[in-house]
Structure 1
Amino acid sequence: MRSFCESGVCCLLLLMLEMSSTDGVIDPQSVLAQSYAQSRHLAPNTRPRQRTLNPAASDSQCRSRPLDLVFIIDSSRSVRPAEFEKVKIFLADMVDTLDVGSDATRVAVVNYASTVKIEFLLKDNFRKEDMKQAISRIDPLAAGTMTGLAIKTAMEEVFTEQAGARPRSKNISKVAIIVTDGRPQDQVEEVSAAARAAQIEIYAVGVDRADMRSLRLMASNPLEDHVFYVETYGVIEKLTSKFRETLCGLDPCALGHNCQHICVSNGASYSCKCREGFVLNEDKRTCSKKQMKVEIVQDPCLCEARLAFQRQTLASIQDLSTKLADMTRKVQQLEGALGRM
């Protein structure tokens, strides 16, 4: 009987492990470090549906604001050819999701392994069909994982006006999405900090064996909104809906502003306002306290009674001010005497 029960428990455990491996369940050890809004991967007992590289356009597109968006994708030896095709499907899905165009969202792709290859720039393609064709032609580079070099290349050669990025004056958000399944073979902390200082918002997507500490070093804050993990490339396309919600909902004020008091989003840009009792200065970002003017309006008829009342009121105010100053001085003296005791 005992042997039968033990066999039953073992079978149940094996069944649970098999279900977790086929359903793309997220590694529970990564919960504390990751955002799991994408954990709505798959319904129970379902498998990832097969997709082509040229999916139909999404019914829901980002039309709220334009972006300069750069994908930085890992194609090192650890990414098998079939897995790399899944990454390309994810990129194509993202292109379908976004409102792309010269005056809308511009997209570039940086491919990396031991070397870095800019597949296309922000200025190269302004139509979805052209972007997806360019994505379909991307080949893996194999070999190592120089993630830091890829971020540096994107910052210095892709997020530039010469490469198609919009001028800072246009307040177009700059966003980088890094997809990797390994541990960087170079330093990522300093170059990622420099990119974030240049107002590039970084999302880090880890797959399978990805080094979670490196993802956190690369990503923007708050980490729970910028670091993601999926167990296999087979479910990476499930992140498309998450990024659609995130990128469509970008708030220019949330991305950083220089308003002293209140930031007000205006679509693709923002303006500054002041709290009650303050006025906006000429620089349109700082605030100054309103100056309260007290004026005594003299009656045109020069009524003696009113003039006398005004003089008496002013005298009373001055007398009260003198007494208040005297009391303040005495209190300070008393406090000083107590302090010396």
Structure 2
Amino acid sequence: MRTAISTNNDIFADPLPEIHEPVACESDEQDIVFVLDSSTSVGTGNFKEMLDFVRDMLLDADVDSGSVRVGVVLYSTDVSVEFHLNTFNNKPELFSAIENIRYMYGNTNTAGGLTALTSEMFITRNGDRPSARNIAFILTDGQSNINSADTIPAAEDAKGAGIEIYAIGIGLAEVDELKGISSQPLSKYLHTVDDFTELEGLRENMFNTICAGIESSRRYCVQLDWISLKNL
């Protein structure tokens, strides 16, 4: 389901990836939105590398039980919501939809992609859950060149709404804008690679980082419970 339709050629011939059984974070509710740069500078082949990264990130996600919901937004000159958090509730259909995302071309309206997080994606009618951790991954290969002054404020609005933003830059010579987009600490939420082929190597590190955050929250809750019991 898209809110803006682009007319581009299908770029995929690969079979769907093997569906993994969920092995980690499976009992935690996570609403995850991928915000993907689809500007002309990315290119068709590199855009496929981004979609492969999205699929790989979700291989171990527990989508079928409802623990994990996924949405995807593209941005170039315009913004396209590919599908919302409540569009798919099983992994085969989700992966098929990711395979069929079309490359858009255009400029780099990063502000528009970030604004969609609060205006379109993480809202109740489109599948956002108050009980779920809200996580966004933004992947880009360049600085914004449309509404650039709105990019950091849009990111701040999203973070202020409780959305964790993992910012991934590909081949960037300058990362100040990406630092402003990313949640803190940068050591956890900001990642850079030299080219799109290196995205594959990020997958395990990123998945472990997300799960580490959940485990930290669990330990904190357990500690609070223990303190409460001691004070009874």
The interval holding the TM-score normalised by the smaller chain is: 0.7 to 0.9
Q: What is residue 98 of structure 1 aligned with on the other side?
A: 61
Choose the corresponding residue for 1:112, options 57, 62, 75. 75
Q: Which residue of 2 aligns with 1:251?
A: 214
**8 Å Cα contact 1:62-1:244 kept in structure 2:** no
Classify 1:211/1:108 alpha carbon distance in 2 versus 1 (closer, same or farther; 3 Å): farther
With over 3 angstroms needed to count, the CA separation of the structure-2 counterparts of 1:193 and 1:234, relative to structure 1, is same
Task: State how 1:206-245 maps to structure 2 within 5 Å.
Answer: 206-209=169-172, 211-245=174-208
Work out which of the residue numbers 136, 160, 181 in structure 1 matches 2:123.
160
2-structure distance, mates of 1:141, 1:210:
24
Per the normalisation by structure 2, the TM-score is 0.84
Taking a change above 3 Å as real, the CA distance of residues 115 and 66 of structure 1, as seen in their structure-2 partners, is: same
In the alignment, structure 1 segments of 5+ residues that lack a partner are: 1-50, 256-261, 281-341
Q: Which residue type is aligned with residue 137 of structure 2?
A: I
1:77 aligns with 2:32: no
Q: Name the amino acid aligned to 1:198.
A: A
Contact 1:71/1:176 (8 A) holds in 2 = yes
Which deviations, in whole Å up to 9, do the C-alpha atoms of 1:23-47 show, x marking residues without a partner? Answer: xxxxxxxxxxxxxxxxxxxxxxxxx
SS at match of 2:25: coil
Change over 3 Å in CA distance of 1:265–1:188 after alignment to 2: farther
Residues 297-312 of structure 1: matches in 2 within 5 Å?
none
Matched, 1:202 2:202: no
Is the 8 Å Cα contact of residues 61 and 96 (structure 1) preserved in structure 2? no
Contact 1:71 1:108 in 2 (8 A): yes
Aligned residue identity for 1:89: D
| 1:181 and 2:141 are equivalent in the alignment | yes
User: In the alignment, residue 53 of structure 2 is paired with which amino acid?
Assistant: F
Once residues 89 and 53 of structure 2 are traced to their aligned partners in structure 1, the CA distance between those partners, rounded to angstroms, is 19
Q: What secondary structure sits across from 1:85 in the alignment?
A: helix
Residue pair 1:178, 1:202 contacting (<8 A) in 2 also:
yes
Q: Given that residues 54 and 92 in structure 1 are in contact (C-alpha distance below 8 angstroms), is that contact kept between their aligned partners in structure 2? A: no
Higher relative contact order (CA 8 A, sep 6+): 2
> What are the ranges of 5 or more consecutive residues in structure 2 without an aligned counterpart?
1-12
Map residues 1-341 of structure 1 onto 2, 5 A cutoff.
Answer: 52=14, 54-58=16-20, 60-101=23-64, 103-166=66-129, 168=130, 170=131, 172-185=132-145, 186=148, 187-209=150-172, 211-251=174-214, 254=217, 263-265=220-222, 273=227
CA distance 1:234–1:199, shift in 2 (3 Å): same
Deviation at 1:92? 1.2
* C-alpha displacement of 1:55: 1.9
Question: CA offsets per residue over residues 101-147 of structure 1, 9 Å max, x none?
Answer: 36310000001101000000000001111111111111111111111
Deviation at 1:272, TM superposition (A): 8.6
Task: Give the counterpart letter for 1:124 in structure 2.
Answer: T
The answer to whether the 8 A contact 2:74-2:81 is kept is yes
Q: Which amino acid aligns with 2:157?
A: A
**Partners of 2:27 and 2:67 within 8 A in 1:** no
Number of residue pairs aligned between Structure 1 and Structure 2: 216
Q: How far has the Cα of 1:199 moved from its partner? A: 0.6
Residue type of the alignment partner of 2:93:
D
Shift of residue 244, structure 1, vs aligned partner: 1.4
